[in-house]
Amino acid sequence: MKIDDALQQFLEYIEIEKGRSLKTVRNYRQYLSRYIDFSGVKNTGDINAENIRQFRLNLNRQSGTKTRGQSSGTMKKRTQNYYLIAIRMFLKYLMKQGHNVYSPDNIELAKTEDRHIDHLDINELKRMLEVAQKHPRNLAIMHMLFSTGLRVSELCSLNRDLDLSKEEMTIRGKGDKLRIVFLSPNARASVLEYLKTRTDMDEALFVQEGPQAVKREENNETLRLTPRSVERLVKQIAIEAGISKKVTPHTIRHSFATDLLRNGADIRSVQMMLGHSNITTTQIYTHITDKQLREVHKKFHNKN
């Protein structure tokens, strides 16, 4: 089968049958197109161990983010694996369709180091909330992020018609999946206070402010905050709070998960609240709580 036809059918399959988001479909197209262009395969039967090996070598020699102590940066192993996962999924689909292709089981992923998870301790979070108190919108954003564990894209997609009389709300997350998140009293109160300050008619819950917002409103453009805007906002709040490490909305999401686990929540519940489809994604947080367990063991058990 011609590779271009197979690729198009596969992308339509993951969009329609698998229910993947358009962003995911675009990513798979990018990963697979890069492999196809590099290897020069014309038909599905041309995919083989050698051109996959050469492609892996090419990825491994690509420049990437330079880290401290390195003379030059290379593409991260985790990023390389995205390409390999896409190729494996493509081959599995082709096998399912009855095509005689290279076995996806032969493609091993690169070994990756454990992810380092940055999170805020309670004092750092309090300092950020104190800074955010100067501005109703910023305080509401901070409380919403920590109360719910929302992804920044999920936060930005919220509309102002939220039912704040309840302690929970249903959101549409990654992959168009619905899940319930919970609002703390502080989160609900701060959002209500923020909404009292709004004079615009935009449907978005969190909007731009200042001269730029006035101009956008005059042009009938949406005022909705973008994920990048919220990232800049959180970064600035952290700087003003005297926090030297890099802080992003995802750092606050990490802090939400870590706080739940440290206070006794089971990992399955945390998985559901974060909206992870696979529990292995949630398990990246366990090394943080493992340290706490070691301290408990040393204090209460290691007496001899």
**Residues catalogued as catalytic:** 151, 174, 250, 253, 276, 285
DSSP state of 285: G
Alpha helix segments (H runs only) across 97-135: 122-132
DSSP helix, strand, coil percent of the chain (3-state; round to 5): 60, 5, 35
Are residues 176 and 153 in contact, defined by beta-carbon separation less than 8 angstroms?
no
Are residues 203 and 221 in contact, defined by beta-carbon separation less than 8 angstroms?
no
CA pair distance 257, 249, nearest whole angstrom: 13
Strand partners, 179: 171
As given in the structure block, the two tokens for residue 165 are 């009389």
Parallel, antiparallel, or unpaired: how do β-strands 168-172 and 178-182 relate?
antiparallel
Torsions phi, psi for 209 (to 5 deg)? -135, 170
Q: Which positions ≥6 away from 117 have C-beta within 8 Å?
A: 254, 258, 284, 285, 287, 288
Distance of CA 125 to the CA centre of its chain: 20
DSSP state of 115: P
Residue with tokens 């564990």: 149
Are residues 203 and 184 in contact, defined by beta-carbon separation less than 8 angstroms?
no
The sign of the CA dihedral 66, 68, 70, 74 is negative
